[in-house]
A and B are shown apart, each in its own frame.
Chain A
Amino acid sequence: MRKQRWTIALFLILFTVALYSSLYYKMIFGAAHHDRHVTVILKSLNVRQDFWQAVNKGAEAAAKEMGAELTVAGPLQEGDVNDQIRILEQEIDRKPDAIVVAPLIDDRMPGILAKVRSAGIRLVVIDTPPDMKPAPVVVSNDHVEAGRLAGETSLTETNNRPIIAIISDAPESQISQQRLEGLKQSLAGNKESANEIYYAGNSEDKAYAIAKRLLIQDKPFNTFITLNESATLGVAKLLEEQQKADVIHLIGFDSSVDEIQLLESGTLNAAIVQKPFNMGYLGVKTALRLIDRKKVAPATYIESNVITKLNMYTPENQKLLFPFINNK
């Protein structure tokens, strides 16, 4: 008898709880996501690094749109691996739901990223995919596609007769390798184009010297493709000095104020510009999809735009070249 009595009491309580939980569910349906926390770790948090600041802005836009909490961290100096690893470990301890990281190249990095995973934190790698197994979810600029765009631009600029000298930074640079790969793909049909590769590191002067030597040798170049900013500036300087800007085409990557001026003056014929804002946005969005256990593509690539003198002041390209609205 006593048991049944409790059964009735229990039934009443259960009934109440069930009623309220259904009510509660109905009330909060659609507004269920509010606890997700994403940490974004950049290669640099320096305010003067436009690229990473744009990534930051994209991440913020995604977090706001999806209603997630966002923390952005990164070393002040680009390339400070120790600092980035320290920040990563610190963030692992804080246990966010997901970490979106643009890892610097270092032997310790795969280990740290594995640690992120084993801590039960979702991992999304942006910008440069690290060498680790199983491969993490990647949101990256499509550097191969960017290289292909550069190659195709050189074809149109030279009426399909490009003879190209390529100036890169270093053979081991991943991004440059991928750009080179894309270049070769697009130029595969043109046997004439002498695709010689020179390495100038990150030095403007070295690139200048290489270009000068090449011009003196009087080889029949009509196009320089420079894979990083310093090379672009070095070659542009020489072309302006020797007033060969009209004769020799220059195609570069990325954008800076200097490159924009070169574009305006016509020395730089085209720049292949990435979309860092999109990278930050898609990185965080992918992380949120991972948190929600939705389907996620293993790799998301972001296309680049070809910016020339003619299209550089269209509304969307303006926004790409000048991502920030501030009083400089």
Chain B
Amino acid sequence: MSKERKLRVPLFPLKSIQSNISLAFSLLILAAIVLTSLVSYQVSVNAVQSNSKGYIEEIIKQVNMNIQSYVDNMENISLLAMTNKDVKYYISDNSFISSEDRRTYEKRISDLFQSILYTRTDIASIMVFGYNGRFVSDRRITSLNPNARLQEQVWYKTAKAAGGKSVISAPHVQNIIRNEYRWVVSLSRELKSTDGITAEGVFLVDLNLSVINDICSNINLGKKGYLFIVDGAGNIVYHPQQQLIDSKLRTELISEVIQASSGSSFVANDADGKRIYSVQDTNFGWKIAGVAYSDDLIASTSDLRNSIVLYSLCGLMISLLISVWLSHRLTKPIKELQSDMKQVEKGNFDIQTEIGQMNEIGQLGRSFNMMVSRTKFLMEEMIHNQESKRKSELLLLQSQINPHFLYNTLDSIVWMAEQKQHEEVVLMTSALAKLFRASITKDQELVPIRVEIEHINNYLLIQKMRYNDELDYALDIDEAILPYKTLKILLQPFVENAIYHGIRNRYGIEDGLITIRGRLNNDQIVFEVEDNGFGMTPEQLNRLRQSHEGDKGIGIRNVNERIKLYFGHEYGIQIRSEIEVGTCVTITIPKLE
């Protein structure tokens, strides 16, 4: 709890306006940031996905154009061969060419093919097969594979069946030339004679499959995405995992791709994961499909996501700090006011709270200040009134002479007069007169010790006479203290107590002795009033010390209060007492000129 009372305002107190404000701020900021980051992530993901969809379509178009250009090129080569007179002559079924001439024709055609081949690295071979059994290729010497029958070759058969139109084969290993096994795509076309009706041979151009392979395998559609090509019959032209499909380790949605129209796309979601197929038709019957995995696309947004999360976390941290700081700042004047109020609670009315801006809290502070100063004024006034009241009461008290004392004394005087003890009557009456005079001088609170001693001497004299000399007293006063000032009627109450409660309570008043001492002790003057009376038990003594009321204690308490009031708290009285031995009261006052 002591920590709470400290003036230092804690940064993050619980159950305070500050924590409420900062909590509200934080929750608001949190909600706002979370919402913003979620929305922006979603928006970005959508953007990325539609972008990549467009991008995939664009890539497939490019691939399509590339492959198309290769096919167009083969087509052009075939047109070139078709229109070439030498080729026509060579394969035409006529007897114009002698066996010697044949060689030159072969050489001319071969040179033509070779020159085409030099400019095109994508072409594997160019060949012409005449139905007359003649054939010529881009090589000087062409030796055919004896085990591969021409008529059984797919490209040969389909070209024949197509009747003059060019035919593109599926990729295959071309084994028609001896010792050569190359993966190619073949374009074959039946050649007609000059009349355009009679078929005279088949022309073949082989495109290196590596060309298509390179195009397709270099396409990256995300980390896992790929591209594949099927022909119209559903045979795979290119697929990166063709072997797995052949071994049934993998399936591909070939029939769906064949059914899909050009430029369309569809989504597949099966054991292989969610992926998007984009399909494009080529001019020659193939279909190119791009496959992109949607988690790949999302993975490509991982940077985006990371940065969104990072930035929003940073923003959150900063705004949380700001909210704590802001609420701290807002509630700081309240807390200062609060701590000032606590000071007032503890009794410090001197505090005035600082007033910053004249806002609600400033006004509150001003009201508080006014209230505190008003309270302080009222309290001081009250203390002052009390004090003066007390003083007047004391003055009243001290002016009072115990009426019993007066009656008793007068009785004694009467009694002495009857006994005709004139001298004693005179002595006692004069002493009484002096006593009264001393108590009537109201103006002066302080009197010289000499006067006070005289006063107590008179009093004791009267008492001694009243008790027929059974009471004795001794005055042992240092001469040096006599000029100093003391409170009026300081010692009388103690002497009174010594007689009435001390000595008289004994078995009688005989041999009762009251000793009054006065001496200088450094800067203090010390009086002692000692009797040999009945004394007090420790319990009685305690009661006397603590009691505020009661006839026994009232005189002593008054004197004590008067001393403290006039001279300060370090001065006062002390009582020592022992049962059946006596009581000694020590009175300490300052040395006052």
Interface residues of A (CB under 8 A from B): 1-2, 4-5, 8-9, 12, 15-16, 19-20, 23-24, 27-28, 30-31, 34, 58, 61, 64-67, 257, 260-261, 264-266, 275, 277-278, 281-282, 313, 315-316, 318-323, 325-328
Say yes or no: A5 contacts B13, CB within 8 Å: yes
Residue in B closest to A32 when the chains form the complex, CB atoms: B295
Residue from B34, B213, B241 whose CB has the most chain A CB atoms within 10 Å? B241
- Quote the shortest CB–CB distance from A286 to chain B (angstroms): 12
Cβ of A322 and Cβ of B147 under 8 Å apart? no
Q: Which residues of the partner chain B approach A275 to less than 8 Å between Cβ atoms?
A: 243, 247
Establish whether residues B246 and A316, one from each chain, have CB atoms under 8 Å apart when the complex forms.
yes
A204 nearest CB across to chain B (Å): 19
Are A5 and B12 in contact, with the CB atoms below 8 A?
yes
Contact across chains for A16 and B30 when beta carbons are under 8 A apart: yes
| Residues B147 and A266 in contact, CB atoms below 8 Å apart | yes
Is there an interface contact between A27 and B305, defined as CB atoms closer than 8 Å? yes
Interface size of B as a range: 35 or more
User: How would residues 192 to 232 of chain B score, 1 for a CB under 8 Å from any chain A CB and 0 otherwise?
Assistant: 00000000000000001110010000000001101000000
- Stretch of B103-111, B168-176, B414-422 with 4 or more beta carbons under 8 angstroms from chain A: B168-176
Evaluate contact between B145 and A277: CB separation under 8 angstroms: no
Are the C-beta atoms of B302 and A16 separated by less than 8 Å? no
**In contact, A282 and B241 (Cβ under 8 angstroms):** no
B218 to chain A, nearest CB (A): 13
Q: Which of A27, A260, A326 contacts B41 (CB 8 A)?
A: A27
Is A257's CB under 8 angstroms from B249's CB? no
Q: How far does the alpha carbon of A202 sit from the alpha carbon of B260 in the complex, in Å?
A: 54
Roughly how many angstroms separate A315 CA and B13 CA in the complex, as a whole number? 79
Q: Please, which residues of chain A bring their CB within 8 A of the CB of B320? A: 12
Could you tell me if B19 and A8 are in contact, using CB atoms closer than 8 angstroms?
yes
Cross-chain contact of A12 among B10, B26, B147, B240 (Cβ < 8 A)? B26
For the residues of A in contact with B, the DSSP-based class is: helix
CA distance A282 to B243 in the complex (A): 12
Separation of A30 and B175 alpha carbons in the complex (Å): 46
Chain B residue numbers with a CB within 8 Å of A16 are 30, 313, 316
CA distance A277 to B241 in the complex (A): 10
Would you list the 10 A-B pairs with minimal beta carbon distance, nearest first?
Answer: A316-B246, A264-B147, A325-B183, A31-B299, A31-B295, A277-B243, A30-B295, A265-B147, A325-B213, A325-B209
In the complex, what distance in Å separates the CA atom of A61 from the CA atom of B242?
10
B2-16 Cβ-contact flags toward A at 8 Å (1 or 0): 011000001011100
- Residues B240 and A61 in contact, CB atoms below 8 Å apart: yes
Please list 29 pairs of residues, one from A and one from B, whose beta carbons are closer than 8 Å in the complex, sorted by A's number.
A2-B3, A5-B13, A5-B14, A12-B320, A16-B316, A20-B313, A23-B38, A23-B309, A24-B305, A24-B309, A27-B41, A31-B298, A67-B223, A257-B181, A260-B181, A264-B145, A264-B175, A266-B147, A275-B247, A277-B244, A278-B249, A315-B170, A315-B172, A316-B243, A318-B173, A319-B242, A321-B173, A326-B210, A328-B181
Residues in B whose Cβ lies below 8 Å from that of A20: 309, 313
A-B contact count (CB 8 A): 124
Interface string of B112-147 (1 = CB under 8 A from A): 000000000000100000000000000000000111
The minimal Cβ–Cβ distance linking B286 to chain A, given in whole angstroms, is 15
- Do A58 and B243 touch (CB < 8 A)? yes
> A57–B242 Cα gap in the complex (Å)?
12
Asked if A61 meets B172 with Cβ closer than 8 Å, knowing A24-B309, A260-B181, the reply is no
Q: Which residue of B lies closest to A302 (CB)?
A: B247
On whether the beta carbons of A313 and B172 are closer than 8 Å, the reply is: yes
A264 to B241, CA, bound (A): 27
A281 engages B173 (CB within 8 Å): no
Q: Closest residue to A64 on the B side, CB-wise?
A: B224
B148 within 8 A of A: yes
Q: What's the minimum C-beta distance from B288 to chain A, rounded to whole angstroms?
A: 17
Residue in contact with A319 in the complex, picked from B145, B181, B246, CB distance below 8 Å: B246
- In contact, A281 and B4 (Cβ under 8 angstroms): no
A288 to B243: give the CA distance in the assembly, Å.
Answer: 20
Contact across chains for B224 and A65 when beta carbons are under 8 A apart: yes
Which of A2, A4, A320, A327: most chain B Cβ within 10 A? A327
CB distance from A4 to the nearest CB of B (A): 5
Q: Out of A19, A281, A320, which one reaches B249, CB within 8 Å?
A: A281
Query: Is the C-beta of B23 less than 8 angstroms from some C-beta in chain A?
Result: yes
Cα A135 to Cα B495 in complex, Å, equals 119
Return A3 CB to nearest CB of chain B, in Å. Answer: 9
Contact B243 A323 (CB under 8 A): yes
Is there contact, CB below 8 Å, between B173 and A313?
A: yes
Minimum distance in angstroms from A239 CB to a CB of chain B: 15
- Bound-state CA distance A266–B244 (Å) is 29
**In the complex the two chains form, what is the Cα distance from A73 to B472 in whole Å?**
131
Chain B: minimal CB distance from A68 (Å): 10
A-B contact sample (13 more), CB < 8 A, given A8-B14, A23-B38: A5-B12, A5-B13, A5-B14, A16-B313, A20-B309, A30-B298, A34-B299, A67-B296, A260-B181, A277-B243, A318-B172, A327-B182, A328-B182
Are A322 and B298 touching (Cβ within 8 A)? no
Q: Which residues of B contact A261 (CB under 8 A)?
A: 147, 179
Give the contacting residue for B173; candidates A8, A30, A64, A322; CB below 8 A: A322
Q: Are A327 and B210 in contact (CB under 8 A)?
A: yes
List of B residues within 8 angstroms of A320 by Cβ:
243, 246
User: Which A residues touch B14, using CB under 8 A?
Assistant: 1, 4-5, 8
Flag if A315 contacts B19 (CB, 8 Å). Answer: no
Residues of A within 8 A of B223 (CB): 64, 67
Query: With A and B bound together, what is the CA distance between A4 and B15 in angstroms?
Result: 10
Contact among A31, A266, A277 with B302 in the assembled complex (CB-CB below 8 Å): A31
B302 and A28 within 8 A (CB): yes
Q: What residues of B have a CB within 8 angstroms of the CB of A9 in the complex?
A: 12
The smallest beta-carbon distance between A304 and chain B, in angstroms, is 11
Name, among B4, B173, B224, B305, the residue most crowded by chain A CB atoms within 10 Å (CB to CB). Answer: B173
- Contact partner of A65 among B10, B209, B213, B241, CB < 8 A? B241
Does A61 lie within 8 Å of B241, measured CB to CB?
yes
Q: List residues of B (264-307) whose CB comes within 8 Å of A's CBs.
A: 273, 295-296, 298-299, 302, 305
Chain B residue, CB-CB nearest to A61: B241
Inter-subunit contact A278/B243 (CB<8 Å): yes
B10 CB to nearest chain A CB (Å):
8
**A residues in contact with B181, CB < 8 Å:** 257, 260, 322, 328
- For B172, the chain A residues whose CB sits under 8 A away are 313, 315, 318
Whether, in the assembled complex, B235 has its beta carbon less than 8 Å from a beta carbon of chain A, the answer is: yes
CA distance A320 to B181 in the complex (A): 13
> CA separation between A31 and B296, bound complex, in Å?
7
Interface residue? B236 (CB, 8 A): yes
B170: chain A residues within 8 A (beta carbon): 315
Contact between B38 and A319 (Cβ–Cβ < 8 Å)? no
Most chain B beta-carbon contacts within 10 A, residue among A24, A282, A318: A318
In the complex, chain B residues whose CB is within 8 Å of the CB of A58: 243
Contacts of B298 in A (CB 8 A): 27, 30-31
Interchain CA distance A66-B37 in the complex, whole Å: 30
Q: Which of B1-48 contact A (CB under 8 A)?
A: 3-4, 10, 12-14, 19, 23, 26, 30, 34, 37-38, 41
Q: How far is the CB of B299 from chain A (nearest CB, A)?
A: 4
Given A23-B38, A61-B244, A67-B224, check contact A315 B235 (CB 8 Å): yes
Decide if A319 touches B243 in the complex (CB within 8 Å): yes
One of B244, B299, B313 near A278 (C-beta < 8 A): B244
A320 to B243, CA, bound (A): 8
- Per-residue CB contact flags for chain B residues 245-257 toward chain A (1 = under 8 Å, else 0) read 0110100000000
